[in-house]
Chain A
Amino acid sequence: MENTVVKIDSLVKRYGDLIALDHFSLEIKEGEIFGLLGPNGSGKTTTINCLLSLLAFDKGDIKIFGKEMTPTSYDIKKDIGVIMQNVAVFDELTVYENIDYFCGLYITDKAERKKCVDEAVRFVGLEDFLKFRPKKLSGGLLRRLNIACGIAHKPKLIILDEPTVAVDPQSRNKILEGIQELNARGATVIYTSHYMEEVEKICTRIAIMDKGKKIAEGTKDQLKRMIKNTETITVEVLGLTDEVISQIAGLPHIYDHSYDGSLLTVFCSGGKHNLIRVMEVLQKNDLSFGRVYTELPTLNDVFLEVTGKALRDKED
């Protein structure tokens, strides 16, 4: 269970003047679903492409299954399943032919291959689209085809680079469940995404990266323990005076707050009964309030605290 599957050591990759990966290191153990989380442009795809020996890098060391990874490491490659960020299928081939083509790069025996392809088709739920060309598939189905092409040969290590971009929620859930199932069957998974919910949902361990650097790593609980925020309280309340606000700010365990005239947000660090104490202040001042809610920290808070900026792009 504790075998190291992937070991990246101090990887440096430059594109001209831009340092895309800055001494990036990673160790992934057998059986993990390892999440690589970071905003667009943080270097996730670059990491994957270096890992697969497609990209030349400036410095560093990459081992997969304990062996040096090179472009000709065919014995390593045969056990890897790759789902690229950019969908890689032939537009002129049908769904079935595409899966058969990619599976055939790994499995030469025809009968065995047919079994694998059929299984992959069922796994991603494309049975009704076997004769379709990729152009006729919706975004979600296309991504599922891309995944089927990557996993049909039953690899030990599966690398998925943002497999859910531009995917409808239904396909997204199907994909996430599929990844967990593949993992349950024994595959080690590397999963990159800029959607923290996805990573939180399925990954057993997570590395957060920004600007080519790893800024945090651990299980999601470990990550959340790393930051001082433990609870965020939000209250709908009108007409707060500065006096009341300063009373609230003065409560124990509260390290930050904001008020925009209708919504009060209070950030707490440790302690218990924070919500009750905030309520008490409001009641004491005879203020009536609308909805009240409290949130536990998310990976976004982790990212926010480590980098000083939000993880998510505004639009998604």
Chain B
Amino acid sequence: MFLHHLKYDILSMLRTKALVIWLIIFPIVLGIFFKVAFGSVYEKEIKFDAVPAAVVEEEEDPYFAAAAKALSEGDDPFMELTYTDEKEALSLLKNGKVKGIIYAGGELRLSVAGSGSGETMLKVFADSYNAQRKVIVDTAENDPARLPKVIEALSQEISPATKVSVTDGNTDLYNQFFFNLLAMVALYGSLLGINITLYNQADLSPISARKSCSPAHRFTGLLATLVSCILMETVCMTISVTFLRFVLDVDLGKHMGLVYLTSILGGILGVAIGFFIGACNSFSFNTKVGISMVFSMLACFLSGLMIGNIKPFIQQHCPIVNDINPAALISDSIYCLNICSDYRRFTIKIVTMAAMTAVLMILGLICTRRKKYASL
């Protein structure tokens, strides 16, 4: 019986044009729009040239040498290093041939002449290296075989983190549009979610009244519609993420698996919101569609879908909004995952989302518990 419900719920959802438009076509069009409108502007800024720097070795330091090598090689080198003595280095710095002088041997010291992005990047590198130096030295002494791995990890962590702190959040802003786009698709899941009550609560549609007259248990029908909404939303989220990452080539970071999972969880949260909106009041179906749309759009607006830097503004004046705004939660968790690799914050966001989903679903179920209606 469950599968019978599920089959036809999915079929009728797939054939509902409005859902396909809002959940699949609209995000794709908007994604292309963002890409075309802002892509050229922001992508130039996130293209970094390697920062030229001079290295003065005050003392032999094999660990620094290894880390420096890892960061100045490859397709997208972080630094371009010149090994030299102090005098030569100072003259290079004076002529502007290098952005800074790194004094190697023990703690790194840095000498710079300006305050541009190159200088900042060197500074962040030096700080990170000093902060991690102990780990490197320990590894070299206790488990030398692992040393290349540790250095590799270090350089991989330093490079993007440094680049970000240098761009003053510009790349953030650019990526934020796409993260918020995913949040929008997730919240459009509420358009699916309101169908759960529409098709299972007898006072909302002739179809559900008709279903209530049959010997099929109501909860089975409710569960089937819920599951079909979640499946449909999962497909839509997967399409959106895949399209952004592999067609528009948006950088969603290296944890693609987690990005997919986070987006799908966000989508389920959207469905739960719709379920709750559908269940908690007795407005007409079209009003509920309106409420879902307005809610999704408002949440996305507050999270920066239309105006990029509204979120920092809210963070300053009313941070609680960002902590519970589902759109902000979704876009932030993807952000945490990619840009700053902040797993603690990521975990908090994910747990908040899961908790909200659970609460909304339970409230929805409580609201739909009634079996007879005062009025049809």
Pair from one complex: yes
Q: How far is the CA of A52 from the CA of B371 in the complex (A)?
A: 12
Q: Residues of A contacting B211 with CB < 8 Å?
A: 105
Q: Chain A, 74-110, contact with B by CB distance < 8 Å: what is the 0/1 string?
A: 1101101010101111111100010001101110100
Classify chain B's interface size. 20 to 34
Q: With CB as the reference atom, state the residue of chain A lying closest to B221.
A: A105
Q: Cβ of A101: which chain B residues have Cβ within 8 Å of it?
A: 4, 8
Q: A15-B375, A55-B376 are in contact. Are A80 and B11 (CB under 8 A)?
A: no
Given the complex, which residues of B lie within 8 Å of A49, measured CB to CB? 209, 376
A105 & B206 in contact (Cβ 8 Å cutoff): no
Determine how close the nearest CB of chain A comes to the CB of B318; give it in whole angstroms: 42
Query: Out of B12, B371, B375, which one reaches A93, CB within 8 Å?
Result: B12
A72 at the interface (CB under 8 A from B): yes
Instruction: Please name all residues of chain B whose beta carbon is closer than 8 Å to the beta carbon of A80 when the two chains form the complex.
Output: 213
A92 adjacent to B16 (CB under 8 Å): yes
User: Is the beta-carbon distance between A54 and B376 smaller than 8 angstroms?
Assistant: yes
Q: Per-position contact with A for B1-34: 1 when CB-CB < 8 Å, else 0?
A: 1001000100111011000000000000000000
Asked if A230 lies at the interface with its beta carbon under 8 angstroms from chain B, I say no
Residue pair B4, A54 in contact (C-beta under 8 Å): no
User: Any chain A CB within 8 A of the CB of B47?
Assistant: no
Q: A91's closest neighbor in chain B, by CB? A: B12
Contact for A92 among B11, B214, B215, CB less than 8 A: B11
Which of A54, A75, A77 touches B209 (beta carbons < 8 Å)?
A54
List B contacts of A93 (CB < 8 A).
8, 11-12, 15
Question: Is A53 positioned at the interface, with any CB of B under 8 Å from its CB?
Answer: yes
- Whether a CB of chain B sits under 8 angstroms from the CB of A71 is yes
In the complex, A56 has a CB within 8 A of chain B: yes
Inter-chain contact B210/A55, CB cutoff 8 Å: no
Chain B residues near A102 (CB-CB < 8 A): 210, 214
Contact status B207-A56, CB under 8 Å: no
Q: Which of A39-76 contact B (CB under 8 A)?
A: 49, 52-56, 71-72, 74-75
Flag if A77 contacts B213 (CB, 8 Å): yes
Type the 1/0 row for B199-225, where 1 means its CB is closer than 8 Å to any CB of A. Answer: 000100111011111111110000000
| A90, B8: Cβ atoms closer than 8 Å | yes
B372 proximal to A (CB < 8 A): yes
- The proximity string for B residues 54-78 relative to A, scoring 1 for CB distances below 8 Å and 0 otherwise, is 0000000000000000000000000
B residues less than 8 Å from A55 (CB atoms): 372-376
Q: Which residues of A contact B202 (CB under 8 A)?
A: 54
Binary interface profile of A, 152-182, with partner B (CB < 8 Å = 1, else 0)?
Answer: 0000000000000000000000000000000
B11, B13, B207, B213 — which one has the most chain A CB atoms within 10 A of its CB? B213
B114: shortest Cβ distance to chain A, in Å? 64
Known: A88-B206, A90-B8, A97-B11. A105 touches B371 (CB 8 A): no
Contact with B214, one of A15, A86, A89, A105 (Cβ below 8 angstroms): A105
Which of A75, A87, A104, A106 is most buried by chain B, counting CB atoms within 10 A of its CB? A104
Number of interface residues of A (CB under 8 A): 32
Chain B residues with Cβ under 8 A from A15's Cβ? 374-375
User: If A104-B4, A108-B4 touch, does A78 touch B206 (CB 8 Å cutoff)?
Assistant: no
Instruction: Report chain B residues within 8 Å CB of A97.
Output: 8, 11
Interface contact A82-B210, CB-CB below 8 Å: yes
- Of all chain B residues, the one with the shortest Cβ separation from A100 is B8
Whether the pair B207, A88 counts as a contact (CB closer than 8 A) is yes
Please state if B376 and A92 are interface contacts (CB–CB under 8 Å).
no
For B209, B214, B374, B375, which residue has the most chain A Cβ atoms within 10 angstroms? B214
Residues of B176-219 at the interface with A, using a CB-CB cut-off of 8 Å, are: 202, 205-207, 209-218
A5 CB → nearest B CB, Å: 16
Q: Is the CB of A54 within 8 A of B372?
A: yes
**Which of chain A's residues has its CB closest to B4's CB?**
A104
Minimal Cβ-Cβ distance residue in B for A98: B8
Task: Tell me which residues across on chain A come within 8 A of B372, comparing CB atoms.
Answer: 53-56, 71
Minimum distance in angstroms from A89 CB to a CB of chain B = 7
Residue of B nearest to A101 (CB): B8
Name the residue in A86, A92, A108 with the highest tally of chain B Cβ atoms < 10 Å from its Cβ.
A92
Say whether A105 contacts B8, CB under 8 Å.
Answer: no
Q: How far is the CA of A104 from the CA of B16 in the complex (A)?
A: 22
Q: Among the listed B216, B374, B376, which residue makes an inter-chain contact with A105, where contact means beta carbons less than 8 Å apart?
A: B216
Q: How far is the CA of A293 from the CA of B371 in the complex (A)?
A: 55
Given contacts A54-B213, A77-B215, A104-B4, contact A90 B371 (CB under 8 A): no
Complex Cα spacing A116 to B311, Å = 59
Contact with B along A193-216 (1 / 0, CB 8 A): 000000000000000000000000
CB distance from A79 to the nearest CB of B (A): 9
**What residues on A are CB-neighbors of B216 within 8 Å?**
105-106
Contact indicator B209/A88 (Cβ below 8 Å): yes
Output the least CB separation between B373 and chain A (Å).
Answer: 6
B15 touches A92 (CB 8 A): yes
- Bound CA–CA A55/B374 (angstroms): 6
B46 to chain A, nearest CB (A): 44
B213, A52: Cβ atoms closer than 8 Å:
yes
A89 to B16, CA, bound (A): 14
State A93–B210 Cα separation when bound (angstroms).
16
Known: A56-B374, A97-B8. A89 touches B207 (CB 8 A): yes
Contact A106 B375, beta carbon cutoff 8 Å: no
Docked-complex contact B1 and A108, CB < 8 angstroms: yes
The distance from the CB of A110 to the nearest CB of chain B, in whole angstroms, is 10
Q: Is the CB of A74 within 8 A of B215?
A: yes
Q: A88-B209, A105-B1 are in contact. List 14 more A-B contacts (CB 8 A).
A: A49-B376, A52-B212, A52-B213, A53-B372, A54-B209, A55-B376, A56-B372, A71-B218, A71-B372, A72-B371, A92-B12, A92-B13, A108-B1, A108-B4
Chain A positions near chain B (C-beta within 8 angstroms)? 15, 49, 52-56, 71-72, 74-75, 77-78, 80, 82, 84, 86-93, 97, 101-102, 104-106, 108, 149
Report 11 cross-chain contacts, Cβ distance below 8 Å, ordered by A residue: A52-B212, A71-B212, A77-B213, A78-B214, A82-B210, A82-B213, A86-B206, A88-B209, A92-B12, A93-B15, A104-B4
List the 10 shortest-distance A-B pairs measured between CB atoms, nearest first: A88-B206, A88-B210, A71-B371, A105-B214, A92-B15, A92-B12, A78-B215, A86-B206, A74-B215, A56-B372
